[in-house]
């Protein structure tokens, strides 16, 4: 393949560039909130919640302080407590399993599929015990897990399903939006997400009115009206300033998803027939490519090589959660989750942000291929 000799700097994400493209509108929205004097929840947050419900097709959307809290609140809505077991994946961001452990429940890991990095539904049923209360699949890197299989297993055993859709707002599975297929969906608006705010933010989607109402109480210390507490909840509210920013960005989200998919399609084309193992998007899935993650031989050397060529990359994730020090009490050892562990040694996220140009993507691909020549 012929590649450009020109040197480029290609960032993994460029949040400031995204901001510049919307600067005036965002500044107007933020000023509006500042002038209103209403900084916590209120109509700006309610408006954004309505917009997310409309966008995802969920009946209810409840904003909160982060994606981590969205998971925690979702588990609290099901009264998860010490002794309960919740099935999830060991190949995800820490918060997924941590939210389970924080409530004293036990994260029970199930290995992943090698091609999508998502929980392997074939291995799920074996891990169900009388203590199992729910399943928490993660839609990693912007592609939904195999929800038909997961939902069928959950319903057969009377388990709830909380989708960790932190990385997957707008992804679809057989035409249905991530976060609306299970009982509850947890979203993150961390700045590097496809829909990111200027700080921390999160949201839970629900279709059941009872669960939605409980979530709106749990996020304000479990109060049904001020100073009257039905539950012991937490303080986890979405700031009005963040909601105002997110409302502006939501209008552009599909356009950004589209640009990411265009970059991913170009990578696919350029890596065709090479040694690079590209991420598979399963039939029926539309990925939002929150990350474009390849599996690479000599991953660490490739990463270093690309850095020398001006290309930023990242390793999501370098250690299976089963092997994290804080989860040593679960008693896992190396080799217990071979697919996840292999992924931790081979994955590398390449730049796929919407702000990149076609030339940036061609440059990154050329440098990857050059490494293997």
Ligand X SMILES: Cc1ncc(COP(=O)(O)O)c(C=O)c1O
**Minimum separation from the CB atom of position 188 to ligand X (A):** 3
The residue (of 68 and 287) whose beta carbon lies closer to ligand X is 68
Q: Which is nearer to ligand X, 95 or 245 (CB)?
A: 95
Which three-class secondary structure state does DSSP give residue 6? Answer: coil
Distance in angstroms (rounded) separating the CA atoms of residues 271 and 275:
8
Q: How far is the CB of 190 from ligand X (least distance, A)?
A: 4
What strand order describes the sheet that includes 285-286?
176-177, 172-173, 285-286
Q: Spell out the residues 6+ positions from residue 262 whose beta carbon is closer than 8 angstroms to its own.
A: none
Q: Is 166:186 a contact under the CB 8 Å cutoff?
A: yes
CA-to-CA separations, 27 to 22, 30, 32, 77, in angstroms, rounded: 9, 5, 8, 35
Q: Which is nearer to ligand X, 166 or 311 (CB)?
A: 166
- Residues 168, 137 contacting (CB under 8 angstroms): no
Let me know: does 164 contact 138? Beta carbons within 8 Å. Answer: yes
Q: How far is the CB of 274 from ligand X (least distance, A)?
A: 28
User: Rounded to the nearest whole angstrom, what is the least distance from the CB of residue 71 to ligand X in the complex?
Assistant: 6
Q: In the complex with ligand X, which residue's Cβ is closer, 56 or 188?
A: 188
* Sequence-separated (6 or more) residues with CB below 8 Å from residue 117: 91, 140, 141, 279, 293, 343, 347
Least distance in angstroms from the C-beta of 272 to ligand X: 29
Q: Which residues bind ligand X (CB under 6 A)?
A: 66-68, 92-93, 95-96, 138, 164, 166-167, 188, 190, 200, 202
Least distance (Å) from ligand X to the CB of residue 130?
27
Angle at 204 between CA 199 and CA 206, to 5 degrees: 160
Tokens 């997957």 label which residue? 168
Q: Which residue is nearest to ligand X (CB)?
A: 67
Query: CA–CA distance from 127 to each of 154, 190, 285 (Å)?
Result: 12, 31, 26
Q: Which is nearer to ligand X, 233 or 368 (CB)?
A: 233
**Residue 121 or 202: which CB sits closer to ligand X?**
202
CB of 163 to ligand X, least distance (A): 10
Give DSSP secondary structure letters for 217-251: HHTBTTEEETTEESS---B---BHHHHHHHHHHHT
Nearer Cβ to ligand X, position 118 or 365? Answer: 118
CB 75, CB 98: distance < 8 Å: no
CA distances from 183 to 20, 120, 123, 186, 271 (A): 37, 19, 21, 10, 38
Q: Shortest approach of ligand X to residue 300 CB, angstroms?
A: 22
Closest CB to ligand X among residues 18, 365: 18
Asked if residue 26 lies in contact with residue 174, where contact means CB atoms within 8 angstroms, the answer is no
CA–CA separation, 261 and 352 (whole Å): 8
Q: Which is nearer to ligand X, 243 or 365 (CB)?
A: 243
To ligand X, the closest distance from the beta carbon of 24 in angstroms equals 27
């Amino acid at each position: 393949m012929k590649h450009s000799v020109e040197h480029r700097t290609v960032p993994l994400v460029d949040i400031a560039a995204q901001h510049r493209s919307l600067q005036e509108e965002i500044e107007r929205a933020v000023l509006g909130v500042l002038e209103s004097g209403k900084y916590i929840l209120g109509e700006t947050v309610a408006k954004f919640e309505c917009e997310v419900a409309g966008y995802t097709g969920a009946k209810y959307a409840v904003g909160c302080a982060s994606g981590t809290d969205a998971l925690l609140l979702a588990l609290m809505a099901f009264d998860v407590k010490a002794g309960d077991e919740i099935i999830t994946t060991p190949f995800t961001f820490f918060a997924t399993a941590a939210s389970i452990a924080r409530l004293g429940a036990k994260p029970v890991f199930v290995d992943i599929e090698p091609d999508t990095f998502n929980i392997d539904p074939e291995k799920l049923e074996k891990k169900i015990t009388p203590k199992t209360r729910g399943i928490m699949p993660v839609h990693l890197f912007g592609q939904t897990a195999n929800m038909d299989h997961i939902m069928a297993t959950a319903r057969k055993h009377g388990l709830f399903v909380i989708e960790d859709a932190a990385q997957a707002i707008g992804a679809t599975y057989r035409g249905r939006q991530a976060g609306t297929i299970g009982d509850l969906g947890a979203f993150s608006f961390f700045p590097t997400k496809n829909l990111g705010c200027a700080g921390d933010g999160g949201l839970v989607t629900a279709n059941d009115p009872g669960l939605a109402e409980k979530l709106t109480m749990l996020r304000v210390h479990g109060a049904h009206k001020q100073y009257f507490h039905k539950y012991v909840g937490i303080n986890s509210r979405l700031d009005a300033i963040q909601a105002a920013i997110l409302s502006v960005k939501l209008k552009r989200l599909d356009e950004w998803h589209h640009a990411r998919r265009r970059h991913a399609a170009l990578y696919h084309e350029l890596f065709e027939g090479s040694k690079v193992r590209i991420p598979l998007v399963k039939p029926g899935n539309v990925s939002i490519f929150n990350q474009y993650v390849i599996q690479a031989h000599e991953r660490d050397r490739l990463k270093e090589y690309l850095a020398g060529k001006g290309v930023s990359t990242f390793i999501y994730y370098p250690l299976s959660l089963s092997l994290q020090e804080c989860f040593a009490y679960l008693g896992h050892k190396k080799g217990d989750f071979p697919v996840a562990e292999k992924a931790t040694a081979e994955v590398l996220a390449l730049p796929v942000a919407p702000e990149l140009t076609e030339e940036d993507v061609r440059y990154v691909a050329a440098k990857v291929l050059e490494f293997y020549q």
